[in-house]
Chain A
Amino acid sequence: MDEDLYREIILDHYKHPSNFGYLPEANAKFRDSNTNCGDTIQMEVRVDGGEIRDIRFTGVGCAVCIASASLLTEKVKGAKISEVMSLGEKDVLSLLGLSSITPERGKCAMLPLKVLKASLIQFQKQA
């Protein structure tokens, strides 16, 4: 194990996640899970003028997954859809303060971004 995995930032965001909950005024919504571990994340997003006005998430998952969702929602508030679409694994790891991650845990870390992107793609298709 990377001892760093359980540094303050991840544990804090796991125990006290930002933007946890539902967003009644959401116009983009998506939910997905990692089949092997059962981590599940739902993103609810309010998009206005191509920008993320507000975002909330719900779900169950390990510390890495929940912290990733929490940090991600903080980061993307106010961002353009195109900016979110260009985010990748490096960006998520840097949010988590990690330089690398094992492939299995990588899936946990990346689930929130994957779900967020899926919600935006679906939103754009409907628009």
Chain B
Amino acid sequence: MLSDQLVVERIRRDFPIFSRLENGKPLIYLDSAATSQRPIQVINAVVEFYEKINSNVHRGLYTMSEEATEAYEAARANVSSFVGCKPEELVFTRNATEALNLVAFSWGRANIKQGDTILITQMEHHSNIIPWQILSAEKKAHLEYIRITDDGLLDPVSVEEGLGKGPKIVAITQASNVLGTINDVKAIAKKAHEAGAICLVDGAQSVPHMPINVKEIGCDFLAFSGHKMLGPMGIGGLYGEFDLLDSMPPFLTGGEMIKEVNLEGASWNDVPYKFEAGTPNVEGAIGLSAAVNYLKGIGMGWVRSHERELIARALPLMLDENGVKVYGPTNPEQRGGVISFNVEGVHAHDVAEIFDSEGITIRSGHHCAMPIMNKFGIPATARVSFYVYNYGDEINVLMNAIKKVKRVFSVG
């Protein structure tokens, strides 16, 4: 077995971006929860598509178009196996946001009626809140939230209360992009089914970081984004249980999603094409498939344990640092590779700016999760997030940057 450090060094050589200097210093990229970097294998896969087989899919009868179609469908098969579903259960979307909207729009409008309950949580990303707010307003349905505790976990009492209301759907994130919390979605999906609901999992922050199998989780839908898992921007996926997808009306409409059209109407294409109107992001799908190969190569078990080790090292240091407030669970077992924090008396923006001067890129703001900010009574947090190319030494630079923030602002 190679040591973690050696594995990471080898991985980093695949990422051209790491030759970049940030403010004259080696780039320390701690913003993978926003978007990950891409390895050369992914970049090359996209370039190769354009250089060798660029043509539309499911249309031309000529060889090159058939090759493009084959590559696109091979990408679907590869990505679907990565999350443990059948190829026809994977709809390519632009990103997790579009996948979540697809469910709210298509399944939601066909199944949610006046007075029904939709259950989500207080730790959702806006993309798993707004579609449900709009749907429930439109249908006069009730939108209920599972509360979170002060340490950023789902409140078990609130889980039971929520399920007790007989929801039609439980839509929940597997990993919080702010608190880092990993939710036991397998248990939630089971409870949701027992309560007569279907279960949608937002996998935007989990699919890139841990082994995922939708059949093992038992969820009905899973949404994720390619750009957070080493893939290109503009490609993502929705897993949907086949019979459920089959029973749903289309989402966007136009070309590709129909079987037959006459002046009176149309019949819908088969799943998953029914949900892929228009020319798809073929190079994106091919790039995502290359990303999946890359992740399979290093092993998702390794990815998860690597991030857990980084968190286990960084978290105690940050918790011990005077004047630093850390949000979310303190046990690395309950956390993904994300740490949100604030330096007392300093706005998160200023923290990020000073980090940048040290070559460290982090995110600051509300992270599209304003209900979490409200829960903790803060306008914003600074956030570091780790991925496969980060290593332990970067945590020392991170801690020094926190000390610099305190020095500049004479706090702590």
Please list the residues of chain A having a beta carbon within 8 angstroms of any beta carbon in chain B.
Answer: 1, 3, 5-6, 11, 15, 36-40, 60-65, 105, 108
Which of A11, A15, A37, A60 touches B365 (beta carbons < 8 Å)?
Answer: A37
Binds A, one of B39-47, B77-85, B296-304, B353-361: B353-361
CA distance A62 to B354 in the complex (A): 12
- Are B408's CB and A6's CB within 8 A? yes
- Are B408's CB and A40's CB within 8 A? no
What is the chain B residue whose CB lies nearest that of A5? B353
CA distance A6 to B373 in the complex (A): 26
Provide the residues of chain B in CB contact with A38, threshold 8 Å.
Answer: 365-366, 373, 379-380
**Is B281's beta carbon under 8 Å from chain A?**
no
Which of A3, A5, A6, A62 touches B347 (beta carbons < 8 Å)?
Answer: A62
- Are A1's CB and B379's CB within 8 A? no
Give me 17 other A-B pairs in contact (C-beta within 8 A), A36-B365, A38-B366 excluded: A1-B353, A1-B357, A3-B357, A5-B353, A6-B408, A37-B349, A37-B364, A38-B365, A38-B379, A39-B347, A40-B379, A60-B379, A61-B379, A62-B350, A63-B346, A63-B347, A64-B349
CB pairs A–B below 8 angstroms (23 shown) = A1-B23, A1-B353, A1-B354, A1-B356, A3-B357, A11-B408, A15-B345, A37-B348, A38-B365, A38-B373, A40-B379, A60-B347, A61-B347, A61-B379, A62-B347, A62-B353, A63-B346, A63-B349, A63-B350, A64-B350, A65-B347, A105-B353, A108-B349
- Are A37's CB and B408's CB within 8 A? no
**Is B50's beta carbon under 8 Å from chain A?**
no
Instruction: Check A62/B356 contact, CB under 8 A, given A1-B23, A11-B408, A39-B379.
Output: no
CA distance A46 to B88 in the complex (A): 65
How many residue pairs link A and B with beta carbons under 8 A? The number is: 52
- Are A11's CB and B409's CB within 8 A? yes
User: Closest CB-CB distance, B5 to chain A, in whole Å?
Assistant: 29
Provide the residues of chain B in CB contact with A5, threshold 8 Å.
Answer: 353
Please list the residues of chain B having a beta carbon within 8 angstroms of any beta carbon in chain A.
Answer: 23, 345-350, 353-354, 356-357, 364-366, 373, 379-380, 408-409
User: Closest CB-CB distance, B341 to chain A, in whole Å?
Assistant: 16
Most buried by A among B348, B353, B357, B380: B353
User: Closest CB-CB distance, A57 to chain B, in whole Å?
Assistant: 16
Provide the residues of chain B in CB contact with A65, threshold 8 Å.
Answer: 347
- Are B354's CB and A37's CB within 8 A? no
- Are B380's CB and A37's CB within 8 A? yes
Most buried by B among A1, A6, A63, A108: A1
Provide the residues of chain A in CB contact with B23, threshold 8 Å.
Answer: 1
What is the chain B residue whose CB lies nearest that of A105? B353
CA distance A108 to B356 in the complex (A): 17
User: Closest CB-CB distance, B358 to chain A, in whole Å?
Assistant: 9
User: Closest CB-CB distance, A21 to chain B, in whole Å?
Assistant: 19
Most buried by B among A5, A37, A38: A38
Provide the residues of chain B in CB contact with A3, threshold 8 Å.
Answer: 357
Provide the residues of chain B in CB contact with A60, threshold 8 Å.
Answer: 347, 379
A-B pairs, 4 with minimum CB distance: A62-B349, A1-B357, A62-B347, A38-B379
Provide the residues of chain A in CB contact with B345, threshold 8 Å.
Answer: 15
Provide the residues of chain B in CB contact with A15, threshold 8 Å.
Answer: 345, 409
What is the chain A residue whose CB lies nearest that of B354? A1
Provide the residues of chain B in CB contact with A11, threshold 8 Å.
Answer: 408-409
CA distance A11 to B408 in the complex (A): 9
What is the chain A residue whose CB lies nearest that of B381? A38
Most buried by A among B345, B349, B366: B349
Provide the residues of chain A in CB contact with B365, threshold 8 Å.
Answer: 36-38
CA distance A55 to B96 in the complex (A): 45
User: Closest CB-CB distance, B61 to chain A, in whole Å?
Assistant: 48
CA distance A41 to B345 in the complex (A): 17
User: Closest CB-CB distance, A124 to chain B, in whole Å?
Assistant: 30
User: Closest CB-CB distance, B18 to chain A, in whole Å?
Assistant: 20
CA distance A64 to B354 in the complex (A): 13
